[in-house]
C-alpha cells in the first residue's frame, strides 16, 4: 500500500518520541515594512534541503546518525500580528513541555518573540545570543510595538539587561545603538568577542536567534533588507558551530530568508547548510 507524501527537512524524518530536536516553520512576514517574502522560507528550505548532503566534512558528523523531527508549518493568520506571535508561543511550549528543543524556521524576525516567550517560561535565567545585520532595538516602528524592527527590544523587556549578546550588527538608527550601549552587549560588524561570550555563558540556558542577513549579501542575497559588509559563510559556519556545540541551547530559530529575491537558489542552499551545521553541532 502506498503512503501519503511526507516532506521534511532532509534526514528529519525520525519519530517524534525519538527526537531531541523538533523543527517547525513559522512563515510569518506580516510586519515586514520593506520587501516581504519570508513566508516562503520554510517550504523552500525543505525542498532545497535535498540538494545538500547529510554528512558534514567540517564536523565529520552525519545527520543519519541522529534523530530529528520536522513537525511542519504553523498556519498563521496574516493580518493579525498578535495572534501569530501567540500561535508560535503555543507550538514552542508544546515542544518544550516534552523536554525537546524547538528549532523554528522563520519567517521575519518577529517570530522570535513567540518562541522566546515560551522558552523564558521554562528557563528563568535565560540568555539570548543574536546574530544579525540589524539591531532590531526600536521601541516602536511607525507606532507598532510588534514589529520585526523591535523584536530584540521586546525580548529585552522579557530577559532584562545584560542577557542579550548581539553580533554582526551594522545597521540601525542612532537611538538603537545608544540603547545597546546601555542595555545589551553589542558587537558591531563582526564576531569578535564571541569566544569570550561563549566562555561566559557556558552552563547557562541560551536561546539562539540567527537572522541570516548577518551574512554578506554576496553569499545571501535572498533577504528583505540586504546590508552590504556582512560576515562570510565560513565565519558564520564557525560561529554557529561554536555556539551550538559549546552552549546549552534550549531553543533557537533561523529567520529572514526570502527566497523569492534570489532566483539562483544560493541563499536557500546556504540556509540549509547552516541549519545542518546547527543540528549536527547540537547533537
Binding residues among 222-251 for a copy of itself as defined by CB under 8 A:
222, 225-229, 233-234, 237
List binders of a copy of itself among 145-164 (CB under 8 A).
146-147
Asked whether position 143 contacts a copy of itself by CB under 8 A, the answer is yes
Shortest distance in whole angstroms from residue 189 CB to a copy of itself = 8
- Cell for 51? 540538494
Residue 162 or residue 229: which is nearer to a copy of itself going by CB?
Answer: 229
- Cell for 83? 495572534
List binders of a copy of itself among 24-63 (CB under 8 A).
24, 29-37, 39, 43, 46-47, 50-55, 57-58, 62
Torsion, CA 44, CA 45, CA 51, CA 52, rounded to 10: 170
Give the Cα separation of 120 and 125 in Å (integer). 8
- Cell for 44? 523552500
Residue 248 or residue 265: which is nearer to a copy of itself going by CB?
Answer: 265
For the chain, the C-alpha Rg in angstroms (whole number) is 17
Residue 48 or residue 197: which is nearer to a copy of itself going by CB?
Answer: 48
Give the Cα separation of 221 and 264 in Å (integer). 10
Shortest distance in whole angstroms from residue 66 CB to a copy of itself = 14
107: preceding bond cis by omega (within 30 degrees):
yes
199 SS3 class? helix
| HSE-up (13 A, CA, CB side) for residue 206 | 27
Window 88-107: contact mask with a copy of itself (x via CB under 8 A)? ------xx--x---------
Residue 196 or residue 264: which is nearer to a copy of itself going by CB?
Answer: 264
Asked whether position 266 contacts a copy of itself by CB under 8 A, the answer is yes
List binders of a copy of itself among 176-205 (CB under 8 A).
177, 188-189
Amino acid at each position: 500500500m502506498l503512503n501519503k507524501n511526507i516532506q521534511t527537512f532532509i534526514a528529519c524524518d525520525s519519530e517524534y518520541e525519538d527526537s531531541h530536536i523538533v523543527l517547525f516553520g513559522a512563515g510569518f512576514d506580516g510586519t515586514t515594512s520593506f520587501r516581504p517574502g519570508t513566508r516562503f522560507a520554510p517550504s523552500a528550505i525543505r525542498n532545497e534541503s535535498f540538494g545538500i548532503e547529510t554528512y558534514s566534512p567540517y564536523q565529520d558528523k552525519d545527520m543519519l546518525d541522529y534523530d530529528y523531527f520536522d513537525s511542519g508549518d504553523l498556519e498563521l493568520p496574516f493580518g493579525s500580528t498578535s495572534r501569530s506571535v501567540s500561535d508560535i508561543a503555543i507550538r514552542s511550549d508544546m515542544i518544550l513541555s516534552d523536554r525537546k528543543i524547538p528549532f523554528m524556521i522563520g519567517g521575519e524576525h518577529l517570530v522570535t518573540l513567540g518562541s522566546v516567550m515560551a522558552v523564558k517560561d521554562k528557563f528563568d535565567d535565560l540568555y539570548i545570543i543574536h546574530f544579525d545585520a540589524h539591531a532590531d532595538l526600536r521601541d516602536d516602528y511607525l507606532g507598532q510595538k510588534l514589529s520585526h524592527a523591535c523584536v530584540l527590544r521586546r525580548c529585552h523587556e522579557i530577559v532584562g539587561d545584560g542577557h542579550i549578546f548581539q553580533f554582526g550588527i551594522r545597521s540601525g538608527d542612532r537611538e538603537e545603538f545608544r540603547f545597546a550601549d546601555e542595555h545589551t552587549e553589542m558587537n558591531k560588524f563582526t564576531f569578535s568577542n564571541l569566544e569570550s561570550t561563549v566562555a561566559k555563558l557556558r552552563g547557562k540556558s541560551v536561546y539562539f536567534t540567527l537572522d541570516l542577513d548577518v551574512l554578506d549579501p554576496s553569499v545571501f542575497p535572498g533577504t528583505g533588507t540586504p546590508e552590504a559588509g556582512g560576515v562570510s559563510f565560513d565565519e558564520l559556519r564557525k560561529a554557529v558551530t561554536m555556539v551550538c556545540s559549546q552552549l546549552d541551547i534550549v531553543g533557537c530559530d533561523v529567520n529572514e530568508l526570502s527566497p523569492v529575491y534570489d532566483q539562483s537558489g544560493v541563499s536557500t542552499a546556504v540556509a540549509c547548510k547552516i541549519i545542518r551545521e546547527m543540528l549536527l553541532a547540537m547533537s
